[in-house]
Chains A and B, each alone.
Chain A
Amino acid sequence: MTLFPAPKPLAAFAFTDHENRVFDLSRLRGKWSFLFFGYTHCPDICPTTLATLARAHEDIAKSKAGAKDVQFVFISVDPNRDTAGKLRQYVTYFDAAFLGVTGDNAQLGNLAGQLGAAYQLAITPGIENYPVYHTTAVFLVDPRARYHAVFAPPLDAEGISRRFKVLRELEGPEAT
Protein backbone atom coordinates (compact mmCIF):
# COMPACT_ATOMS: atom_id res chain seq x y z
CA MET A 1 0.00 0.00 0.00
CA THR A 2 1.24 3.45 -0.87
CA LEU A 3 -0.14 6.04 1.50
CA PHE A 4 -0.27 9.71 0.57
CA PRO A 5 0.75 12.05 3.38
CA ALA A 6 -1.35 14.80 1.80
CA PRO A 7 -4.44 13.10 0.39
CA LYS A 8 -5.66 14.70 -2.80
CA PRO A 9 -9.27 15.95 -2.89
CA LEU A 10 -11.06 14.55 -5.93
CA ALA A 11 -12.87 16.83 -8.37
CA ALA A 12 -16.41 16.26 -9.63
CA PHE A 13 -17.22 13.30 -11.89
CA ALA A 14 -20.47 11.64 -12.93
CA PHE A 15 -21.12 7.94 -13.35
CA THR A 16 -24.21 5.76 -13.17
CA ASP A 17 -24.35 2.79 -10.82
CA HIS A 18 -25.78 -0.67 -11.41
CA GLU A 19 -29.18 0.47 -10.14
CA ASN A 20 -29.16 3.35 -12.63
CA ARG A 21 -28.59 5.88 -9.86
CA VAL A 22 -26.20 8.79 -10.22
CA PHE A 23 -22.80 7.95 -8.81
CA ASP A 24 -20.86 11.14 -8.30
CA LEU A 25 -18.47 12.72 -5.83
CA SER A 26 -21.20 12.94 -3.16
CA ARG A 27 -21.43 9.13 -3.14
CA LEU A 28 -17.80 8.96 -2.03
CA ARG A 29 -18.35 11.20 0.99
CA GLY A 30 -18.82 9.64 4.42
CA LYS A 31 -17.32 6.29 3.41
CA TRP A 32 -13.99 4.75 2.66
CA SER A 33 -14.17 3.65 -0.98
CA PHE A 34 -12.10 0.96 -2.63
CA LEU A 35 -12.13 1.62 -6.38
CA PHE A 36 -11.11 -0.84 -9.06
CA PHE A 37 -11.16 -0.31 -12.84
CA GLY A 38 -12.08 -3.29 -15.03
CA TYR A 39 -14.70 -4.76 -17.35
CA THR A 40 -17.02 -7.76 -17.14
CA HIS A 41 -15.61 -9.53 -20.22
CA CYS A 42 -12.33 -9.84 -18.32
CA PRO A 43 -11.81 -13.52 -17.53
CA ASP A 44 -8.67 -13.42 -15.43
CA ILE A 45 -7.61 -10.32 -13.51
CA CYS A 46 -11.03 -8.79 -12.77
CA PRO A 47 -12.69 -11.83 -11.17
CA THR A 48 -9.46 -12.55 -9.30
CA THR A 49 -9.37 -9.01 -7.92
CA LEU A 50 -13.08 -8.88 -7.08
CA ALA A 51 -12.84 -12.20 -5.24
CA THR A 52 -9.86 -10.81 -3.30
CA LEU A 53 -11.76 -7.63 -2.45
CA ALA A 54 -14.78 -9.67 -1.32
CA ARG A 55 -12.52 -11.50 1.13
CA ALA A 56 -11.01 -8.22 2.30
CA HIS A 57 -14.54 -6.85 2.83
CA GLU A 58 -15.50 -9.92 4.86
CA ASP A 59 -12.41 -9.47 6.99
CA ILE A 60 -13.05 -5.75 7.54
CA ALA A 61 -16.67 -6.55 8.47
CA LYS A 62 -15.39 -8.83 11.23
CA SER A 63 -13.35 -6.03 12.80
CA LYS A 64 -14.63 -4.10 15.79
CA ALA A 65 -15.39 -1.02 13.69
CA GLY A 66 -17.16 -3.16 11.09
CA ALA A 67 -17.63 -2.33 7.42
CA LYS A 68 -20.53 0.10 7.57
CA ASP A 69 -18.24 2.95 6.54
CA VAL A 70 -16.70 1.03 3.63
CA GLN A 71 -17.79 0.55 0.03
CA PHE A 72 -16.28 -1.28 -2.92
CA VAL A 73 -16.79 0.15 -6.38
CA PHE A 74 -16.05 -1.65 -9.64
CA ILE A 75 -15.65 0.96 -12.38
CA SER A 76 -16.23 -0.51 -15.82
CA VAL A 77 -14.11 1.06 -18.53
CA ASP A 78 -16.23 -0.77 -21.11
CA PRO A 79 -19.61 1.04 -21.08
CA ASN A 80 -20.43 -0.32 -24.57
CA ARG A 81 -20.88 -3.81 -23.24
CA ASP A 82 -21.37 -3.23 -19.53
CA THR A 83 -24.94 -2.10 -19.04
CA ALA A 84 -26.34 -1.47 -15.57
CA GLY A 85 -28.00 -4.90 -15.63
CA LYS A 86 -24.77 -6.66 -16.59
CA LEU A 87 -22.85 -4.79 -13.92
CA ARG A 88 -25.41 -5.72 -11.27
CA GLN A 89 -25.21 -9.41 -12.13
CA TYR A 90 -21.45 -9.28 -12.18
CA VAL A 91 -20.48 -7.35 -9.06
CA THR A 92 -23.18 -8.73 -6.76
CA TYR A 93 -22.04 -12.25 -7.58
CA PHE A 94 -18.77 -11.53 -5.79
CA ASP A 95 -20.32 -9.57 -2.94
CA ALA A 96 -23.93 -8.46 -2.53
CA ALA A 97 -22.73 -5.06 -1.30
CA PHE A 98 -20.40 -4.30 -4.21
CA LEU A 99 -21.28 -1.45 -6.55
CA GLY A 100 -20.77 -1.46 -10.29
CA VAL A 101 -20.55 1.91 -12.01
CA THR A 102 -19.67 3.23 -15.42
CA GLY A 103 -19.86 6.39 -17.47
CA ASP A 104 -18.89 7.85 -20.78
CA ASN A 105 -15.34 8.03 -21.97
CA ALA A 106 -14.88 11.63 -20.81
CA GLN A 107 -16.02 10.81 -17.27
CA LEU A 108 -14.00 7.61 -17.10
CA GLY A 109 -10.95 9.51 -18.30
CA ASN A 110 -11.66 12.22 -15.76
CA LEU A 111 -11.63 9.98 -12.69
CA ALA A 112 -8.91 7.68 -14.05
CA GLY A 113 -6.74 10.75 -14.63
CA GLN A 114 -7.28 12.01 -11.10
CA LEU A 115 -6.19 8.65 -9.70
CA GLY A 116 -3.34 8.10 -12.13
CA ALA A 117 -5.10 5.08 -13.60
CA ALA A 118 -5.03 4.22 -17.27
CA TYR A 119 -7.14 2.16 -19.60
CA GLN A 120 -7.33 1.49 -23.30
CA LEU A 121 -9.97 -0.24 -25.40
CA ALA A 122 -8.90 -1.65 -28.72
CA ILE A 123 -12.41 -1.69 -30.19
CA THR A 124 -12.29 -3.43 -33.54
CA PRO A 125 -15.35 -3.57 -35.79
CA GLY A 126 -16.66 -7.12 -36.04
CA ILE A 127 -14.59 -8.37 -33.12
CA GLU A 128 -16.78 -9.17 -30.15
CA ASN A 129 -13.97 -9.78 -27.69
CA TYR A 130 -11.84 -6.75 -28.26
CA PRO A 131 -8.83 -6.34 -26.00
CA VAL A 132 -9.03 -4.01 -23.03
CA TYR A 133 -6.07 -2.80 -21.03
CA HIS A 134 -6.48 -1.29 -17.59
CA THR A 135 -4.65 -0.43 -14.41
CA THR A 136 -5.16 -3.20 -11.88
CA ALA A 137 -4.30 -1.31 -8.72
CA VAL A 138 -7.01 -0.72 -6.11
CA PHE A 139 -7.49 2.92 -5.15
CA LEU A 140 -8.59 3.97 -1.70
CA VAL A 141 -10.58 7.18 -1.33
CA ASP A 142 -11.22 8.46 2.18
CA PRO A 143 -14.59 9.63 3.57
CA ARG A 144 -13.75 13.22 2.61
CA ALA A 145 -13.53 12.12 -1.01
CA ARG A 146 -9.76 12.43 -1.06
CA TYR A 147 -7.47 9.99 -2.87
CA HIS A 148 -5.69 8.57 0.15
CA ALA A 149 -3.86 5.36 -0.75
CA VAL A 150 -3.30 2.80 -3.47
CA PHE A 151 -2.81 -0.95 -3.31
CA ALA A 152 -0.59 -2.20 -6.12
CA PRO A 153 -0.86 -5.75 -7.42
CA PRO A 154 -0.28 -8.51 -6.57
CA LEU A 155 -3.14 -8.03 -4.14
CA ASP A 156 -3.91 -10.14 -1.14
CA ALA A 157 -7.07 -9.87 0.89
CA GLU A 158 -5.45 -10.15 4.28
CA GLY A 159 -2.86 -7.49 3.45
CA ILE A 160 -5.52 -5.08 2.20
CA SER A 161 -7.82 -5.48 5.19
CA ARG A 162 -5.01 -5.36 7.74
CA ARG A 163 -3.49 -2.19 6.32
CA PHE A 164 -6.88 -0.58 5.85
CA LYS A 165 -7.87 -1.23 9.46
CA VAL A 166 -4.66 0.39 10.69
CA LEU A 167 -5.18 3.39 8.41
CA ARG A 168 -8.81 3.83 9.47
CA GLU A 169 -7.76 3.67 13.11
CA LEU A 170 -5.04 6.26 12.55
CA GLU A 171 -7.30 8.64 10.68
CA GLY A 172 -10.00 8.28 13.30
CA PRO A 173 -13.30 10.13 13.17
CA GLU A 174 -11.55 13.14 11.64
CA ALA A 175 -11.62 11.46 8.28
CA THR A 176 -15.39 11.39 8.19
Chain B
Amino acid sequence: MRWRDPALVGLILALAPIAAASEEAGVSVRDAWVRETPRGVAMTAGYMVLQNKTSRPQVLVAARSSGFETVTIHRTIAKEGMTGMEHAPQIELLPNASLLFAPGGYHLMLSNPKRTLRAGDRVDITLEFRGGLVLPVAYEVRK
Protein backbone atom coordinates (compact mmCIF):
# COMPACT_ATOMS: atom_id res chain seq x y z
CA MET B 1 0.00 0.00 0.00
CA ARG B 2 1.25 3.48 -0.82
CA TRP B 3 1.44 4.91 2.69
CA ARG B 4 3.47 7.82 1.43
CA ASP B 5 0.64 8.89 -0.82
CA PRO B 6 -0.64 12.11 0.78
CA ALA B 7 -4.10 11.59 -0.70
CA LEU B 8 -4.41 8.21 1.00
CA VAL B 9 -3.24 9.50 4.36
CA GLY B 10 -5.67 12.39 4.01
CA LEU B 11 -8.46 9.94 3.30
CA ILE B 12 -7.73 7.86 6.39
CA LEU B 13 -7.59 10.95 8.58
CA ALA B 14 -10.82 12.21 7.09
CA LEU B 15 -12.67 8.96 7.74
CA ALA B 16 -12.02 8.96 11.49
CA PRO B 17 -14.16 11.94 12.55
CA ILE B 18 -17.06 10.77 10.36
CA ALA B 19 -17.37 7.50 12.22
CA ALA B 20 -17.16 9.28 15.55
CA ALA B 21 -19.79 11.89 14.72
CA SER B 22 -22.32 9.31 13.57
CA GLU B 23 -21.86 7.15 16.68
CA GLU B 24 -22.53 10.13 18.84
CA ALA B 25 -25.84 10.75 17.12
CA GLY B 26 -26.95 7.15 17.61
CA VAL B 27 -27.58 6.70 13.93
CA SER B 28 -24.80 5.06 12.03
CA VAL B 29 -23.94 3.33 8.82
CA ARG B 30 -21.74 0.35 8.22
CA ASP B 31 -20.67 -1.64 5.19
CA ALA B 32 -21.36 1.32 2.88
CA TRP B 33 -20.45 0.65 -0.72
CA VAL B 34 -21.17 1.82 -4.22
CA ARG B 35 -21.04 -0.44 -7.24
CA GLU B 36 -18.22 0.27 -9.68
CA THR B 37 -19.59 1.30 -13.07
CA PRO B 38 -18.55 0.42 -16.56
CA ARG B 39 -17.13 3.49 -18.33
CA GLY B 40 -19.83 5.75 -19.71
CA VAL B 41 -22.62 4.21 -17.65
CA ALA B 42 -25.03 6.74 -16.20
CA MET B 43 -26.37 4.83 -13.22
CA THR B 44 -25.11 3.01 -10.22
CA ALA B 45 -26.32 2.18 -6.75
CA GLY B 46 -25.20 2.64 -3.16
CA TYR B 47 -25.76 0.08 -0.43
CA MET B 48 -25.29 0.02 3.35
CA VAL B 49 -26.58 -1.10 6.70
CA LEU B 50 -28.33 1.79 8.38
CA GLN B 51 -28.50 1.46 12.15
CA ASN B 52 -30.66 3.38 14.56
CA LYS B 53 -29.43 2.93 18.11
CA THR B 54 -31.63 5.66 19.49
CA SER B 55 -34.92 5.02 21.27
CA ARG B 56 -36.86 7.04 18.71
CA PRO B 57 -37.76 6.27 15.10
CA GLN B 58 -35.53 8.06 12.60
CA VAL B 59 -36.78 8.97 9.16
CA LEU B 60 -34.38 9.15 6.23
CA VAL B 61 -35.72 11.85 3.93
CA ALA B 62 -32.93 12.60 1.48
CA ALA B 63 -29.42 11.82 0.35
CA ARG B 64 -27.09 14.10 -1.56
CA SER B 65 -23.62 14.05 -3.00
CA SER B 66 -21.54 16.41 -5.09
CA GLY B 67 -20.16 13.39 -6.92
CA PHE B 68 -23.39 12.70 -8.82
CA GLU B 69 -26.03 14.62 -10.69
CA THR B 70 -28.78 13.15 -8.52
CA VAL B 71 -29.06 10.84 -5.52
CA THR B 72 -32.45 9.23 -4.96
CA ILE B 73 -33.64 6.76 -2.37
CA HIS B 74 -35.04 3.84 -4.30
CA ARG B 75 -36.47 0.45 -3.77
CA THR B 76 -36.53 -2.45 -6.20
CA ILE B 77 -40.04 -3.86 -6.31
CA ALA B 78 -41.89 -6.66 -8.03
CA LYS B 79 -44.89 -5.73 -10.14
CA GLU B 80 -46.97 -8.12 -12.23
CA GLY B 81 -44.15 -10.62 -12.53
CA MET B 82 -41.67 -7.91 -13.43
CA THR B 83 -39.11 -6.04 -11.41
CA GLY B 84 -38.74 -2.29 -11.35
CA MET B 85 -37.79 0.51 -9.06
CA GLU B 86 -39.77 3.06 -7.20
CA HIS B 87 -38.77 6.23 -5.46
CA ALA B 88 -39.03 5.94 -1.68
CA PRO B 89 -39.63 9.52 -0.51
CA GLN B 90 -38.83 8.60 3.07
CA ILE B 91 -37.82 5.53 5.01
CA GLU B 92 -38.57 5.07 8.67
CA LEU B 93 -35.98 3.34 10.79
CA LEU B 94 -37.51 1.83 13.90
CA PRO B 95 -35.88 2.47 17.29
CA ASN B 96 -32.93 0.17 17.93
CA ALA B 97 -33.23 -1.40 14.51
CA SER B 98 -31.19 -1.78 11.36
CA LEU B 99 -32.25 -1.42 7.77
CA LEU B 100 -30.43 -3.14 4.97
CA PHE B 101 -29.83 -1.39 1.67
CA ALA B 102 -28.84 -4.28 -0.57
CA PRO B 103 -29.08 -5.45 -4.20
CA GLY B 104 -32.69 -6.24 -5.02
CA GLY B 105 -34.08 -4.00 -2.29
CA TYR B 106 -33.51 -0.51 -0.95
CA HIS B 107 -30.64 1.35 -2.60
CA LEU B 108 -29.42 4.84 -3.28
CA MET B 109 -29.79 5.43 -7.00
CA LEU B 110 -26.82 7.48 -8.14
CA SER B 111 -27.06 9.10 -11.54
CA ASN B 112 -24.39 10.53 -13.81
CA PRO B 113 -21.26 10.18 -11.69
CA LYS B 114 -18.94 13.17 -12.24
CA ARG B 115 -15.97 10.81 -12.65
CA THR B 116 -15.52 7.16 -13.50
CA LEU B 117 -15.72 5.16 -10.30
CA ARG B 118 -13.08 2.52 -9.75
CA ALA B 119 -12.99 -0.16 -7.08
CA GLY B 120 -11.23 1.23 -4.03
CA ASP B 121 -12.32 4.82 -4.65
CA ARG B 122 -14.26 6.67 -2.00
CA VAL B 123 -17.58 8.38 -2.58
CA ASP B 124 -19.05 10.82 -0.07
CA ILE B 125 -22.81 10.89 0.35
CA THR B 126 -24.69 12.80 3.01
CA LEU B 127 -27.84 11.27 4.49
CA GLU B 128 -30.47 13.62 5.83
CA PHE B 129 -33.00 12.67 8.48
CA ARG B 130 -36.17 14.36 9.60
CA GLY B 131 -35.45 16.74 12.44
CA GLY B 132 -32.20 17.96 10.95
CA LEU B 133 -29.83 15.07 11.64
CA VAL B 134 -27.23 14.99 8.89
CA LEU B 135 -24.94 12.02 8.48
CA PRO B 136 -21.94 12.19 6.13
CA VAL B 137 -21.00 8.70 4.99
CA ALA B 138 -17.96 7.48 3.08
CA TYR B 139 -18.87 4.72 0.61
CA GLU B 140 -16.26 2.41 -0.80
CA VAL B 141 -16.47 1.68 -4.49
CA ARG B 142 -16.54 -2.06 -5.07
CA LYS B 143 -16.67 -4.22 -8.14
Contact = CB atoms under 8 A, between A and B. Distances in A.
Interface SS majority for chain B: strand
Interface string A85-102: 010011011100000000
Given A43-B107, A44-B76, A44-B104, A118 B43 contact: no
Given A89-B41, A93-B38, A44 B107 contact: yes
A92 B38 CA distance: 9
B40 interface: yes
Interface string A38-53: 0011111101100100
A44 B104 CA distance: 6
Contacts of A47: 35, 44-45
Find the residue from A40, A47, A90 having the highest chain B CB count within 10 A. A47
B82 A43 contact: no
Contact of A41 (B42, B74, B103, B143): B42
A131 interface: yes
A44 B82 contact: no
Given A129-B111, A133-B79, A134-B84, A44 B74 contact: yes
Contact of B103 (A48, A92, A94, A132): A48
Interface residues of A, number: 27
Contacts of B103: 44-45, 48
A51 B42 CA distance: 17
Interface of B: 35, 38-45, 74, 76, 79-86, 103-104, 107, 109-111, 143
A164 interface: no
A47 B141 CA distance: 14
A133 B143 CA distance: 24
A94 B104 CA distance: 18
Nearest to A90: B38
Contacts of A110: none
B39 A119 contact: no
A76 interface: no
A43 B107 CA distance: 9
A5 interface: no
Contacts of A90: 38, 41
A154 B104 contact: yes
A133 B104 contact: no
B84 A132 contact: yes
B107 A134 contact: no
Given A43-B107, A43-B109, A133 B84 contact: yes
Find the residue from B44, B74, B76, B110 having the highest chain A CB count within 10 A. B76
Contact of A43 (B43, B79, B86): B43
Nearest to A131: B84
A48 B103 CA distance: 7
Contacts of B111: 129
A93 B39 contact: yes
A89 B82 contact: no
Find the residue from A44, A48, A135 having the highest chain B CB count within 10 A. A44
A133 B83 contact: yes
